[in-house]
Structure 1
Amino acid sequence: MERVVITGMGILSPLGNDVDTFWQGLKEGRSGISPIDRFDVTAFGTKIAGQVRGFDGETVFGRKEARKMDLFCQYALYAAEQAVQDAGLQPELLDRERFGVYVGSGIGGIETLADNVRVLDERGPNRVSPSLVPMMISNMAAAQISIRFGALGETLSPVTACSIGNSSIGEAFRLIRSGEADVMIAGGTEAAVHPLALASFGNATALSKRNDTPEQASRPFDADRDGFVMGEGAGIVVLESLTHALRRGARIHGEVIGYGASSDAYHVVASHPEGVGAYQAMKRALASAGITPEQVDVISAHATSTQVGDLGETKGIKKAFGEHAYRIPVTANKSMIGHMFGAAGGAEAIALVQSLKEGIIPPTINLKNPDPECDLDYVPQEARRADLEIGLSNSFGFGGHNAVIVLRKYQE
C-alpha cells in the first residue's frame, strides 16, 4: 500500500484567509465569532456567527467569473488555489487521469437558491437565472476545482453533512493508498451564513444566543453552553502518494495514516447520546492506521457546543480509548471558529497538521465551568506545548454520519 502525505493546504475561515493567519489565531486562543453584519439580523434571535472577512470574489476571480459561482464555490476554489500553490504542483506536468478532486458542501448554494426564489416570486419564471442549478448544486465546488486544474481523475462531492471534510480526505486517502490515484485535492466548503439558514437553525433552538458576548458564545464541554455558532469558509488539502511527492521533491506537511466511517443509525439531527457511531468510526480509524489507542497523542474533537453532541463524543472517546482517554489532550477548534459545517473537517485537519508539526495544541476557549459529565482533558483556555506524533480528528454530521481521520507527523 502507498503511504499518503499532505503536501499543500489552503483555507478561508473566521480567523483568517491563509494557513499562517488561521493557525496563529488558534494558537492565541482568539475567537473569530462576531456580530453578523452581512444582512439585517434585527428580527433574529441569534445575531452572531463566524464570518469570512476580507474576501471579495470579484477581486479574486474577476466579475464575470465570480458571477457564475455561488459563494461556497468561490471559497472552495480560492482555498484550492492556495493548496495547489503551497504544494508546488504543476498540474500540466501531472498524469491528469490519476489526479482527482474530492470536495463537498453540506448545504451548497443557499444564497443562489434564495435569490432566485425571490426573483420567481417577484418577477416571474422568465427572470429566473438559467444558471441557478449549476450554481446551486453542491458538487459544483469539486467540479470548478477539477476544471480549474484539469483534473481528469475521480471527482466526487461526498455529502455527509458536517463530516464532509473528513469524508473527502478519508476517501481520497483510500484511493491513493490503494494505488488508484497519485494526487487528490480534498476537503470541504460552506457559505451558509445566510438569513434562511440562520432562521432555520434558530427555530430549531440549536444556536447560541450570547449576542452581547459573541467571542464567548461557542463553549464546547462547558456546563453553560447554549448551542452552537454558525461559521463558514473552506479547508482544502493536497494529498499525494509518498512515492509521487518524493519523486517531484515536494515539501511534506504531514501524513494521513488512517480513516474510519460509520453511521449512528439513530436520528436525522441528534447524534447518538452514547456516542455509539463516534466510537465505531474512531475504532475503525485506529484499525486502518494500524495503531493502538495508546499511540494517539492528541484528539481534535468535533465538539460543536451542544449538550447531547459534546457528551456523546466524550462517551465515544472513552469507549474507544479506555483509561487512556483521560491522558489524551482533546482540543475543540470550534470554540474559536464556530461550526463551519461542510468546511469544518478540512479546516480542522489543517489545524491538526500544524499542531503535529509545531508540537502545540490549540486551546478550547470559553471552558470555564466544565460539564461534570464531560471530564476529559480539553486543554482549557490556553494553548499547550506537547511532544506530538499522532493525532486523531473527529467529524460528525446530521443523519448520523461519522468520519474520523488519523494524521501523523511526517517521518522519512
Structure 2
Amino acid sequence: MTTEAASKPIETIFRTYIKTDPRGAARALEQLKSAEAAQILATHPVRLIIPVFEQLIPHFSAEILDSLSPEIRSKILGGLPKRQAVRILRYMNEESRQRVFSLLTEKETKLLLQLLDYPPDTAGGIMDTQFVSVLLTATVQQTVQIIRKAQRKVVGYVYVIDEEGKLVGVISIRDLLLAKTHDLIEPLIHRDVRKVQAQNNREELALIIQESRFLALPVVDDEDHLVGVVRHEQAVRAIQKDILGDLSRMVGSDAEEHSLAPVSIVVKRRLPWLMVNLLTAFMAAAVVSLFEGIIAKVTALAVLLPIVAGQGGNTGAQALAIVIRGLALREILPGMVLRVLYKEMVAGAFNGFIIAIVTAGAVLLWSQSWVLSLVIGLAMVVNMVAAALAGASIPLILQKLGRDPAQSSSIFMTTVTDIVGFATFLGFAMIFFSIFK
C-alpha cells in the first residue's frame, strides 16, 4: 500500500473528527507544529475548518495561517466571527495582514481595521459585531421579519438606531409580540437604555454589567453610533483573562503569554524582568555584606535570615493582593489611599507583634540566647510593618505614575522586604550584641 493510499483513511477519520468535535480537533492540532497542523487542515474544505479555528489559541491560529495560501487564509478570516478574526490578526505581522485584506471585500476590511483600533482590554476589543438593530421608522412587521432572519444566538435585544446609526433605544420582544403588525415601533422604544463606551476598560465594563444585570449591553463610539454588543459571558471571560493577566504581570511575566507560546517570545518577555530581579537581589546581598563582621561572630544570624525575609515577603504579598484587587474592582477611590495604608500598617504591626513573640520564643529554646531572641523579635515587627506598607503602596504608586498596578509589583515588594528585613535584623544584632557582649 502506498503512503498516499494509507493517508486517505486518516484524512477521512480526521474529517469526521472535525465535523463532530471541532474543539477536540483543535486541542489535537495544538499538539503538533504549526506547519504540520496547516498541512492537515489544507486538505479539508474551509467550511469545515472554520469551526476549528474558532477553538484554536489565537497565536497558534496565526502561525497556521502563515503556512496556508493567501486565498485560504482570507476565506478563513472572512468566515470567522469578526471578534475571533481580530484576535488572530493581532498576532500577524503587517505584511501578512495586508495580504489578507487585499483578498477581502472593502466592507470586511473596514470592519476588521475598525476593530483592530480598539485595544483588546476595552469593550470595543471584546464586543460582538453581530446584533439585531432596526431603524426608528420601522414597523412591527418589518422588525419581526428582521428578527426571523437573524441568527438565534444574537436575538436577545432589539436595538433601535436612527438614520445616522446612532443608538436610540431598545425594544422588548414581548412588546413586539403584543403590538399590532402595522404599528410603528417608535411608541414601543425604551429610550433610557444602559450602554457602554467602546473605550471603556474591562474593570469599568465589569462594574456596569454587575450593576445593570443585563444579558448584553450595547457598545457605542464617541459619537453614540451603535458599533457592537458585549454579552455577559464575553465580559466574564474578559475579566477572568484580566485577573490571570494581573497574576502574570505581578511576577514579571506578560498578560498575553500562553503556555504554548514559542520559546523566543517567552524569553523576550520574561528576561528583562529577570534581570531587574537579579539587580534587586544584588542590592539585598550588598546590604548583608555590610554586616559580615557580626555574621562571622554570631553564625546563628545566617541561619535565621531567611525567616525574617520570608515572613516579610508573605506579609507584603497579602497586602499586595488585596490592594490590587481593590484597584481592579474600584473599591479604592482616591480619597481612601491614606485609610488603606493606615489599615495595612496597623494590621502588619499586630501580626508582626504576635509572630515576633512566637518566633522569639522558638529562637530562645533553640539558641538559649535571650539577646538573639530579642533581636529577631524586634526585626520581625519592623519588617512586617514595612512589608505591609510596601505591599499596599507599590501598586498605588504605580497607578499614580500611570503604570499597570500589577506590573512586576511583587518584584519591587520583595526587594523592599528583603532589604528592610536584612538591615533591621543584622542592624539590631550589631547594636545589641555590642552592648551585651
**TM-score normalised by length of structure 1:** 0.24
Structure 1 or 2: larger helix share? 2
Structure 1 or 2: larger strand share? 1
**TM-score normalised by length of structure 2:** 0.23
